[in-house]
């Protein structure tokens, strides 16, 4: 396999974006092309989860490639639930690594706020098992709540730990102008004060309002290229060094131990093995914190901390900016936002900024190795990447 580098990046604000979906995908792509200093690519992948359902639009890749005036290159949509973004990057990686293409553009877009929150929640719930979960009224918040309850009983995680994740990621998002939520929150305001139950009510106990990610629109793009192309461009050389993907049972109740996220564990192990690094070598990571509990659990499953000890690392401040291993410096899904199909690409966007040293006020000092975990379904289809700065 050939080595693959990230040579261009672009992103939109995450918020309510009242623009056509194809524009939300095209704008970050234009920025990424400009960032890379390229005007042509060999292939386009577009990550998206819900265009047909939410926006009454199919064939999104055809619209995007035309918007970008990149015809006649090949283009297709990659849909893999909330892991669509990372799956599209994986396809781009394979295309370059195999020698099929030299330059691949992977863009992404989601426009969830075209529908109301109830419809958006129902749409996301459609990724659960239709006969064993969905028909009983399961939603992602309710699944995450049951998961959190079990995790609390087994490992001693408390609501305070969940709130600490929210406070940390809101703080990080204040430093990210593209983030959806720019609201300072405190443990006192969302947990301890007499008003906390109204400020931060239960959505699905034990998960409260500030434990859940917002419903966001947004797009992000990266451009992947072979070593020959990358070395001609005047950008820091950031290599996509490790790729891993794993799946788990569709129904959560079929898992031997529901508190184990085996797909996260498997995907991360593959990515680290391929990159030839260990979890302890990572300088900065973006994890899929659609719910605060997931950041804690994923930080254990990928190998940063022992099982059941992620919340202790959080308490010690190890995952904060300035800590031993800053996690979700962008604000994470929790505060940067979670435009489903674009999330995996946006996670990579943040890691590339960090490895280039371009993350401004949230820069992790001397970051050389970055990690992402994009979590599809409820942990049933997970894609992880390891990135290395080479110069």
Partner 1 sequence: MSIDLEKILRPIENTIPPFPPKYMKLAGGEEMIIRQVSREEIPDILPHVEPLLHIERDYYDIVAARLYSELLAYYRYRVQDEYVLVAQINGELVAVVNGRLLSKEVGMSYHTLALRRGLRVGAHAFAAKMEYHFDIIGQKEVLIVAESPIGFRRWMIEYSLEKRFHIPHELGGVPSWALTKEMFDKDRYALVVGRRPVPQDLLAKAQAAILPPTDPPRAPADLLAATRSMYDSTGTALMAQRWKQEGMD
List of residues contacting partner 1 (CB under 8 A): 10-13, 15, 17, 19, 23-24, 27-28, 30-31, 33-34, 177, 183-186, 188-190, 193-201, 210
Shortest distance, CB of residue 109 to partner 1, whole angstroms? 11
Burial zone of 88 (CB within 10 Å; 0-12 exposed, 13-18 middle, 19+ buried): buried
What does the alpha-carbon distance between residue 62 and residue 287 come to, in Å, rounded to a whole number? 31
Burial zone of 60 (CB within 10 Å; 0-12 exposed, 13-18 middle, 19+ buried): buried
In terms of CB distance, is 146 or 190 closer to partner 1? 190
Shortest distance, CB of residue 194 to partner 1, whole angstroms? 7
Shortest distance, CB of residue 177 to partner 1, whole angstroms? 8
**Alpha-carbon torsion, ordered 286, 289, 292, 293, to 10 deg:** -100
In terms of CB distance, is 103 or 261 closer to partner 1? 103
Kind of pairing between the strands at 381-389 and 369-376:
antiparallel
Identify which of 308, 45, 14, 282 has the alpha carbon closest to the alpha carbon of residue 151.
Answer: 308
In terms of CB distance, is 72 or 194 closer to partner 1? 194
What does the alpha-carbon distance between residue 386 and residue 274 come to, in Å, rounded to a whole number? 9
Contact at 8 Å (CB) between 140 and 215? no
Q: What are phi and psi of 365, to 5 degrees?
A: -60, 130
In terms of CB distance, is 132 or 233 closer to partner 1? 233
Identify which of 91, 97, 2 has the alpha carbon closest to the alpha carbon of residue 46.
Answer: 91
Shortest distance, CB of residue 285 to partner 1, whole angstroms? 26
Shortest distance, CB of residue 180 to partner 1, whole angstroms? 10
In terms of CB distance, is 214 or 344 closer to partner 1? 214
In terms of CB distance, is 151 or 210 closer to partner 1? 210
Contact at 8 Å (CB) between 150 and 257? no
Shortest distance, CB of residue 59 to partner 1, whole angstroms? 22
In terms of CB distance, is 158 or 177 closer to partner 1? 177
Shortest distance, CB of residue 173 to partner 1, whole angstroms? 13
| Residue 15 per-residue DSSP state | B
């Amino acid at each position: 396999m050939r080595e693959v580098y990230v040579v261009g990046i672009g992103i939109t604000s995450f918020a309510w974006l009242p623009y056509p979906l194809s524009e939300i995908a095209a704008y970050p792509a234009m920025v990424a092309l400009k960032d890379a200093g390229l005007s042509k690519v060999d292939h386009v992948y577009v990550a998206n989860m819900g265009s047909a359902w939410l926006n009454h639009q199919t064939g999104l890749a055809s619209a995007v490639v035309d918007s970008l005036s990149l015809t006649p290159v090949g283009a297709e949509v990659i849909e893999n639930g909330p892991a669509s973004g990372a799956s599209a990057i994986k396809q781009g990686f394979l295309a370059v690594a195999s020698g099929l293409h030299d330059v691949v553009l992977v863009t992404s877009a989601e426009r969830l706020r075209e529908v109301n929150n109830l419809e958006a929640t129902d749409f996301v719930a459609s990724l659960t098992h239709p006969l064993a979960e969905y028909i009983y009224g399961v939603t992602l918040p309710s699944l995450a709540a049951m998961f959190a309850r079990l995790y609390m009983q087994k490992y001693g995680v408390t609501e305070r730990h969940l709130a600490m994740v929210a406070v940390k990621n809101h703080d990080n998002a204040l430093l990210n102008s593209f983030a959806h939520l720019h609201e300072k929150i405190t443990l006192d305001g969302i947990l301890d004060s007499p008003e906390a139950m109204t400020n931060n009510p239960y959505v699905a106990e034990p998960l409260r309002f500030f434990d859940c990610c917002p419903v966001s629109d947004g797009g992000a793009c990266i451009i992947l290229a072979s070593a020959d192309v990358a070395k001609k461009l005047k950008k820091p050389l950031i290599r996509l060094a490790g790729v891993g993907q794993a799946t788990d049972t569709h129904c959560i109740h079929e898992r031997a131990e529901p508190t184990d996220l085996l797909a996260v564990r498997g995907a991360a192990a593959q990515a680290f093995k391929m990159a030839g690094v260990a979890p302890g070598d990572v300088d900065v990571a973006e994890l899929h914190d659609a719910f605060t509990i997931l950041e804690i659990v994923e930080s254990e499953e990928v190998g940063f901390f022992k099982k059941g000890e992620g919340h202790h690392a959080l308490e010690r401040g190890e995952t904060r900016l300035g800590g031993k291993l800053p996690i979700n410096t962008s604000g994470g899904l929790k505060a940067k936002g979670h435009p489903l199909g674009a999330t995996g690409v946006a996670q990579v966007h943040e890691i590339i900024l960090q490895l280039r040293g371009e993350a401004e006020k949230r820069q992790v000092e001397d970051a050389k190795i970055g990690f992402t975990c994009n979590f599809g379904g409820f942990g049933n289809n997970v894609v992880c990447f390891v990135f290395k700065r080479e110069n």
